[in-house]
């Protein structure tokens, strides 16, 4: 009997309709190469293997190796290692383009998303199961309590939407929270230095209750901020600023 490992975020799926719906949400066709992070016992991998051209699936837990290899899925390559330690250049070496479809381990959801969005050149979309609360933060609109660094930085890389809510009892073992499937389509919309932009967004949100003038003065002098922007803008809080406004403000400061 397999011992589920909490430390690896092991909450497995088995409902065939749900697995099929996730692959449909991802828009997978026979032309697609799919990268999966966290094969588990291979439930989603099997569905992907029947619908995609090729699947590369990472799994950290060596205790799952035999189960996965015994599935004998011809178009699936399993890689038994920690995905976070993989060099993205190596991952995508022979892939001209690929989509990610995964029921992500929750303890490293955000690091995985940013590793993919920041380091991959061939990634076109991500369709991922995440905690519902994280999904709500990803798709939040400016002005609400869920809107923050995660929302803005994901919007910087692409367009995100929730495709379905998944109740906790669909998993085994059931986690303490409900989940949601989020699809992020990668889009290059903004021509700015991503590392500097990311620092700018993080500084803007550093103290949620403070104004942009206060938060941004950790990065730029107050004189520079006052020369660049009017009072109305500097009195605002980051939570009310859209991705387009963030990019515009950043460009003004960098020029
Ligand atoms: N795809 C399966 C399913 O839907 O039933 C399993 C999903 S489970 C939420 C996440 C899986 O990711 C687990 O099997 C876990 O062992 C694996 N995992 C956790 N951390 C990982 C990492 N750093 N690299 C690769 N796999 C990881």
Distance, C-alpha 231 to centroid of its chain: 35
What local confidence, expressed as pLDDT, does residue 28 receive? 98
Q: Is residue 149 part of a domain?
A: yes
Instruction: Please name the residue whose Cα sits nearest to atom 2 of ligand 1.
Output: 40
Q: Tell me the pLDDT of the chain averaged across its residues.
A: 97
Is residue 1 over pLDDT 80? no
Per-residue pLDDT tens digits for 63-97? 999 999 999 999 999 999 999 999 999 999 988 89
Q: Which of 175, 181, 166, 180 is nearest to 100 (CA)?
A: 181
What local confidence, expressed as pLDDT, does residue 254 receive? 92
Taking the model in full, what pTM does it have?
Answer: 0.96
Instruction: Please name the residue whose Cα sits nearest to atom 18 of ligand 1.
Output: 38
Is residue 11 over pLDDT 90? yes
Quote the ligand 1 centre to 105 CA distance (angstroms). 5
CA distances from 43 to 6, 67, 113, 172 (A): 18, 11, 21, 12
Q: Is residue 100 part of a domain?
A: yes
Are 57 and 163 within one domain? yes
Q: Collapsing DSSP states into helix, strand and coil, what is residue 165?
A: strand
Residue 198 banded pLDDT, cuts 50, 70, 90? very high
Are 87 and 164 within one domain? yes
Are 47 and 108 within one domain? yes
Q: Which domain CATH number covers 145?
A: 3.40.50.150
Are 174 and 221 within one domain? no
Mean pLDDT of 197-213: 96
Are 203 and 180 within one domain? no
Are 23 and 142 within one domain? yes
What local confidence, expressed as pLDDT, does residue 2 receive? 87
Q: Looking at 138, 165, 186, which one is the last position of a domain? A: 186
Q: For residue 65, give its domain range.
A: 6-186
- Is 78 a pocket residue for ligand 1 (Cβ < 6 Å)? no
What local confidence, expressed as pLDDT, does residue 155 receive? 98
Q: Is residue 125 part of a domain?
A: yes
- Is 83 a pocket residue for ligand 1 (Cβ < 6 Å)? yes
Per-residue pLDDT tens digits for 124-141? 999 999 999 999 999 999
Q: How many domains does the chain have?
A: 2
- Is 158 a pocket residue for ligand 1 (Cβ < 6 Å)? no
Mean pLDDT of 41-48: 98
Are 134 and 71 within one domain? yes
Q: Is residue 1 part of a domain?
A: no
Query: What's the DSSP call for residue 211?
Result: -
Are 136 and 233 within one domain? no
- Is 215 a pocket residue for ligand 1 (Cβ < 6 Å)? no
What local confidence, expressed as pLDDT, does residue 86 receive? 97
Q: Which atom of ligand 1 is nearest to the CA of 85?
A: 23
Helix pair angle (109-119, 149-157), 10° resolution: 30
Q: Which atom of ligand 1 is nearest to the CA of 105?
A: 10
Q: Collapsing DSSP states into helix, strand and coil, what is residue 233?
A: helix
Query: What's the DSSP call for residue 140?
Result: P
Q: Looking at 140, 165, 186, which one is the last position of a domain? A: 186
Instruction: Please name the residue whose Cα sits nearest to atom 6 of ligand 1.
Output: 40
Is residue 55 over pLDDT 90? yes
**Rounded Cα–Cα distance for residues 253 and 191 (Å):** 14
Are 201 and 220 within one domain? yes
Are 198 and 178 within one domain? no
The preferred substitution site among 38, 45, 130, 172 for testing ligand 1, maximizing ligand atoms within 8 Å of CB, is: 38
**What percent of the chain clears pLDDT 70, i.e. is strictly above it?**
100
Quote the ligand 1 centre to 149 CA distance (angstroms). 25
Quote the ligand 1 centre to 82 CA distance (angstroms). 10
Q: Looking at 160, 186, 212, which one is the last position of a domain? A: 186
Are 229 and 203 within one domain? yes
Residue 255 banded pLDDT, cuts 50, 70, 90? confident
Q: Which domain CATH number covers 229?
A: 1.10.8.100
Are 159 and 224 within one domain? no
């Amino acid at each position: 009997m397999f011992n589920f490992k909490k430390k690896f975020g092991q909450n497995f799926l088995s409902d065939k309709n749900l697995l099929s719906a996730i692959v449909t949400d991802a828009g997978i066709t026979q032309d697609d190469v799919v990268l999966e992070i966290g094969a588990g016992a291979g439930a989603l991998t099997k569905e992907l293997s029947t619908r995609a051209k090729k699947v590369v699936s990472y799994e950290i837990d060596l205790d799952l190796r035999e189960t996965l290899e015994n599935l004998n899925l011809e178009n699936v390559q399993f890689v038994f290692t920690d995905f976070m330690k993989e060099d993205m250049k190596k991952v995508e070496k022979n892939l001209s383009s690929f989509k990610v479809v995964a029921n992500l381990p929750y303890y490293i959801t955000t690091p995985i998303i940013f590793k993919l969005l920041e380091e991959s050149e061939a990634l076109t979309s991500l369709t991922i199961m995440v905690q519902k609360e994280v999904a709500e933060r990803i798709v939040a609109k400016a002005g609400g309590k869920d809107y923050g660094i995660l929302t803005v930085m994901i919007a910087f890389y692409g367009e995100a939407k929730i495709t379905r809510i998944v109740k906790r009892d669909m998993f085994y073992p059931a986690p303490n929270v409900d989940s949601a499937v989020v699809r992020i389509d990668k889009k290059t919309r903004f021509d700015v230095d991503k590392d500097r932009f990311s620092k700018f967004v993080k500084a803007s949100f550093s103290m949620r209750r403070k104004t942009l003038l206060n938060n941004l003065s950790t990065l730029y002098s107050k004189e520079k901020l006052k020369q660049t922007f009017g009072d109305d803008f500097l009195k605002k809080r980051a939570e009310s600023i859209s991705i387009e406004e963030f990019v515009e403000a950043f460009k003004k400061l960098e020029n």
